């Protein structure tokens, strides 16, 4: 029996490289070399420390300089840390976890970047694991006995009080505690200034808005229902469209938790499914006479967008496309590369991103339905995007002389939404994305009061939300989010909703400033993302579930419905 005393520095190693004698330091160097020997997926920075009494069994392990792991820690999965991180005694870190610089983790904390599926009928231990991953920013203090669950992002400069159970994202600079963890106060307050509002006051305003939107949702749907055509139009006097039906379904689900009352659920499903071409899987737009246009394929802008709008509307209704989307089922890796190469990234990056978004979503639907998608198709799509992202902007494509960064940023939102965000994959160069978005947001042509529209605002807000875990320029992001949120809440029109473009004396009389379903659906999502960036989205009382769902849709345990009819393939009626 070994009765030798345990070196206290195994439990408190922060002074090891200063105080330990040369023999113990050399033994630690051997320990570190053994951990990385022959493993390309392991990398340890300068003056790291890993206790002999810690259990380290990683698929991927990358530790920044001066990061230490104390005795009793149990670590598995994929762990990537910045510099000066401390993983104290008996901490458990499992799954896919990323830490920024200077993250200090108290003893007996559990950071669990994975989860069990728990469908009824099968023992939990026999069900597959899921992993969204956990991202923690810079300069975060995590107290003892904290639990952080899968899918959470913790913003930089935040504090998680001892014993907190963190089940949702933590805003940068916030102090949270309790079970489940709730906001206590700011450690680092959002930037203040003439455009900012105190967090508590804005949260109250957001709560009032959420209640009002829910109370007026039925009136908005009635206003846009075309009784003659028995269809929704974007606004009174406009022709009914495919998108308007989907927008109405999204708004009703978001605010009422129900289907639009103008039809039964089964009738909504039959209408949307009936518009899909059984041979190709396309959903063509409606012409002026209400009939679908013919001869269009997935290269048409509206057909491509209907992959999103109709697909998510059917999902909210508990259904799915009845026919295969041949855009994906007929694809090969080379065809995917050819598609990406053929898109107009330099002249119109928005259009390019639009079609990547649609293809990525078509891929989601086919994988969800269990369709046979050729091996390498998904890898070709993500591989092309990763290899072709501009390391200076973090995005794809080029600015244009007439529109500047607008098509680049808008195209990034579309392309990243349908791929990285939807599949739960980290975007390349996230800090450069933040830099590019903040630079673009200062352009008065698109972001001065009265010039803003739902497309341009959503296309900066979502990338900032998607990269929030970096903590990069967090104060500027929060100041921008506060200003945009305050201005957005002012533009709600009673019983009519939001217009696509902000109303103002300059834009008065434009069709885009009339309230409609598209503007309402998009601005409701914008308000949620802005509120979530500020840590006050709970006050809204709703959370997007359709096209603008914040969770990675590909990782929600989606399975084919047992009552779904067999899907038709190419050539089948």
**Number of Cβ atoms within 10 Å of the Cβ of 391:** 8
Name the DSSP class of 134: E
Can you list the positions of beta strands (E) in 245-329? none
Helices 242-256 and 517-533: angle between axes, nearest 10 degrees: 40
Residue 67 to residue 47: CA distance in whole angstroms: 7
The DSSP line for 45-107 is -TT-EE-TTSEEEEEEEEE-TT-EE-TT-EEEEEEE--SS-EE-TT-EEEEEEEE-TT-EE-T
Is the link from the previous residue into 173 a cis peptide, with omega within 30 of 0? Answer: no
DSSP string covering 480-500, please? Answer: HHHHHHHHHHTTPBTTTB-BS
Phi, psi of 480 (to 5 degrees): -65, -45
What are the Cα distances from residue 306, in Å, to 185, 246, 302?
43, 9, 6
Q: What are phi and psi of 56, to 5 degrees?
A: -120, 110
Report the chain's C-alpha Rg in angstroms. Answer: 25
Euclidean distance between the first and the last CA atom of the chain, given in angstroms as a whole number = 76
Note if 116 is an active site residue: yes
The token pair at 563 is: 């009552």
How far is it, in rounded angstroms, from Cα 396 to Cα 415?
A: 9
Residues 6+ apart with CB under 8 A from 571: 279
Neighbours of 89 (CB within 10 A): 20
- pLDDT tens for the chain, 573 residues long, are 455 677 887 888 878 888 888 888 898 899 889 888 878 778 888 889 999 899 998 888 889 889 999 999 999 998 989 888 999 999 999 998 989 889 999 999 999 998 877 777 778 777 777 777 888 988 999 999 999 998 888 888 899 999 999 998 888 888 999 999 988 888 887 654 433 444 557 888 999 999 999 999 999 999 999 999 999 999 999 999 999 999 999 999 999 999 999 999 999 999 999 999 999 999 999 998 889 999 999 999 999 999 999 999 999 999 999 999 999 999 999 999 999 999 999 999 999 999 999 999 999 999 988 888 999 999 999 999 999 999 999 999 999 999 999 999 999 999 999 999 999 999 999 999 999 999 999 888 899 877 899 999 999 999 999 999 898 999 899 989 998 998 999 999 999 999 999 987 667 778 989 999 999 999 999 999 999 999 999 999 999 999 999 999 765 444 444 344 556 553 222
Question: Phi and psi (nearest 5°) for 51?
Answer: -65, 145
Cα(277)–Cα(228) distance, integer angstroms? 25
- Among the listed residues 124, 144, 60, the one whose alpha carbon sits nearest the alpha carbon of residue 94: 60
Give the active site residue among 108, 116, 157, 300: 116
SS3 81: coil
Question: Residue 66 in contact with residue 84, Cβ under 8 Å?
Answer: yes
Among 272, 279, 146, 256, smallest CA distance to 210 is for 256
Q: What is the pLDDT of residue 569?
A: 53
CA atoms within 13 A on the CB side of 10: 15
Q: For residue 507, what are its two tokens?
A: 């834009």
What does the alpha-carbon distance between residue 442 and residue 243 come to, in Å, rounded to a whole number? 31
Q: Contact 422/363 with Cβ under 8 angstroms?
A: no
pTM metric for this prediction = 0.67
């Amino acid at each position: 029996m070994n009765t030798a005393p345990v070196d206290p520095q195994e439990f408190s190693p922060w002074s090891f490289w200063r105080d330990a004698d040369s023999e113990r330091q050399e033994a630690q160097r051997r320990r570190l070399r053994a951990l990385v020997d022959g493993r390309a997926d392991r990398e340890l920075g300068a003056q790291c420390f890993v206790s002999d009494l810690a259990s380290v069994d990683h698929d991927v392990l990358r530790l920044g300089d001066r990061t230490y792991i104390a005795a009793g820690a149990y670590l598995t999965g994929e762990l990537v840390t910045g510099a000066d991180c401390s993983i104290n005694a008996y901490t458990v870190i499992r799954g896919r976890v990323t830490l920024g610089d200077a993250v200090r983790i108290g003893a007996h904390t559990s950071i669990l970047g994975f989860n069990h599926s728990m469908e009824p009928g099968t023992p939990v231990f026999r069900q597959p694991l899921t992993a969204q991953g956990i991202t923690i920013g810079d300069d975060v203090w995590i107290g003892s006995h904290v639990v952080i669950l899968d899918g959470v992002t913790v913003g930089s400069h935040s504090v998680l009080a001892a014993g907190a159970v963190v089940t949702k994202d933590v805003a940068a600079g916030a102090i949270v505690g309790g079970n489940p963890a709730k906001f206590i106060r700011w450690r680092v307050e959002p930037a203040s200034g003439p455009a900012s509002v105190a967090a508590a006051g804005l949260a109250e305003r957001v709560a009032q808005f959420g209640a009002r939107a829910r109370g007026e949702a039925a009136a908005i749907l009635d206003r846009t229902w075309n009784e003659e055509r028995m269809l929704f139009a974007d606004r009174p006097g406009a022709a009914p469209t495919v998108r308007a039906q989907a927008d109405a379904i999204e708004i009703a689900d978001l605010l009422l938790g129900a289907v639009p009352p103008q039809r039964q659920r089964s009738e909504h499903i039959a209408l949307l499914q009936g518009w899909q071409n059984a041979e190709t899987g396309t959903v063509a737009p409606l012409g002026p006479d209400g009939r679908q246009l013919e001869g269009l394929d997935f290269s048409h802008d509206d057909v491509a967008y209907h992959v999103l709008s109709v697909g998510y509307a059917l999902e909210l209704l508990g259904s799915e496309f009845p026919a295969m989307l041949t855009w994906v089922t007929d694809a090969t890796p080379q065809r995917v590369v050819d598609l990406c190469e053929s898109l107009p990234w330099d002249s119109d990056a928005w259009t390019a991103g639009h079609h990547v978004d649609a293809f990525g979503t078509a891929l989601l639907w086919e994988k969800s339905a269990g369709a046979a998608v050729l091996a390498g198709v998904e890898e070709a799509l993500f591989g092309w995007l990763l290899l072709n992202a501009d390391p200076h902007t973090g995005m794809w494509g080029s600015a244009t002389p007439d529109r500047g960064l607008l098509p680049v940023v808008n195209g990034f939102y579309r392309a990243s939404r349908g791929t990285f965000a939807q599949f739960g994959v980290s975007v390349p160069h996230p800090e450069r994305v933040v830099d590019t978005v903040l630079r673009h947001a200062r352009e008065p042509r698109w972001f001065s009061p009265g010039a803003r529209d739902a497309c341009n605002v959503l296309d900066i807000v979502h990338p900032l939300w998607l990269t929030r875990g970096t903590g990069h320029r967090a104060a500027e992001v929060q100041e921008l989010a506060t200003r945009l949120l305050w201005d957005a809440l002012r533009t709600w029109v009673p019983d009519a909703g939001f217009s696509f473009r902000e109303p103002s004396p300059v834009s008065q009389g434009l069709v885009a400033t009339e309230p409609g379903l598209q503007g309402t659906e998009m601005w409701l999502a914008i308000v949620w993302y802005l509120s979530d960036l500020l840590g006050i989205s709970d006050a809204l009382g709703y959370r997007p579930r359709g096209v603008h769902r914040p969770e990675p849709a590909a990782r929600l345990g989606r399975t084919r419905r047992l009552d779904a009819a067999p899907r038709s393939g190419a050539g089948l009626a």
